[in-house]
Amino acid sequence: MEIEQKELFTSGKTLFVKDLKTGQTLDGPFALTHMALKTFSGGKFLQAKLGDRTGRIAAVMWNGAEAIYPTLQIGDVVQVQGVVELYREKPQVAIRKIEKLNDLDHLDPDDFLPTIEIDTASTWEELKTVARSVKDPWLLQLLARFINDTPFVEGFLRAPGGKQWHHGYLGGLSEHTLGVLKNCLVLCERYPFVKRDTVLVGAIFHDLERFLDSIIRLSLNTVMWAGWSGIRFLATTNYASMQPRLRDSRRTC
């Protein structure tokens, strides 16, 4: 089965799971949070779940499932055409057409990732306060390269903190980093012989590689949170430019 090419969304996501009603037709992008190829008397069908920041909904595709299944992965952002039906007293999307979206520039990651209320400004102030307590001039210089970089800070505060086990929501990375940092402060008090500055800088940067590698782009890694089976959709900062800065920092320190 060949999927017809059509012009996809150019104005972002406007249709959300929470707004879907029985009998409604839909044509829009969703995160593919679960899929499986199942057998029934007439052949194979696709069982799936579609999600966005407002929730998720079951979905099924009866025609052409075997052909389309190998082209999709859990975590893809997909364009879905179908109709909302009622199945066992719950809404379900009967998929007429589904295809993976490759051009995601017009989409906002915030529309697909789970979110919670986090005071990232307060978190950042706490992180900076601890960073300013570092005495080693070389480590201070390393910290300054990142803390004073506005695009980096914006991306860092927006990034999820985990792919699967923890803090897999927007803003989770800064929340997780501060938690680790506070634990390290306690340990430094308990064990005064450790190199406090090194421990604290290590705590601040311990997940930086994850942030830079994810960089933060769509369709990258599975995020599991609050029952979601997966979203390979993180955030949208292009941070290839950070690699030279990291190399410069290594030479400096």
Q: Are residues 206 and 245 in the same domain?
A: yes
Q: Are residues 128 and 239 in the same domain?
A: yes
Chain CA centroid to CA 89, Å:
31
Q: CA–CA separation, 221 vs 233, rounded Å?
A: 7
> In this structure, how many other beta carbons lie within 10 angstroms of the beta carbon of residue 55?
15
Q: Coil, helix or strand for 47? A: strand
Write out the residue range of the structural domain in which residue 62 sits: 17-107
Q: Are residues 125 and 241 in the same domain?
A: yes
- Indicate whether 214 pLDDT > 60: no
236, 219 Cβ separation under 8 angstroms: no
b/e map of 220-247 (b: 16 or more CB within 10 Å)? bbbbbbeebbbbbbbbbbebeebeeebe
Q: What is the pLDDT of residue 10?
A: 40
The DSSP secondary structure of 74-110, one letter per residue, reads: TT-EEEEEEEEEEETTEEEEEEEEEEE----TT--GG
Residue 142 belongs to a domain: yes
Q: What is the pLDDT of residue 11?
A: 47
Q: Are residues 223 and 147 in the same domain?
A: yes
Q: Are residues 123 and 223 in the same domain?
A: yes
Q: CA–CA separation, 4 vs 226, rounded Å?
A: 35
Residue 1 belongs to a domain: no
Q: 120-132 and 137-147 are packed helices; what angle lies between their axes, rounded to 10 degrees? A: 160
- For 15-66, write each residue's pLDDT tens digit: 999 999 999 999 999 989 899 999 998 899 999 999 888 888 999 999 999 9
Q: Are residues 98 and 190 in the same domain?
A: no
Q: What is the pLDDT of residue 216?
A: 39
- For 66-113, write each residue's pLDDT tens digit: 999 999 998 888 999 999 999 999 999 999 999 998 887 788 777 887
Q: Are residues 98 and 133 in the same domain?
A: no
Mean of the per-residue pLDDT values of the chain: 77
Q: Are residues 201 and 244 in the same domain?
A: yes
To which residue do tokens 């190199």 refer?
A: 195
Q: Are residues 99 and 139 in the same domain?
A: no
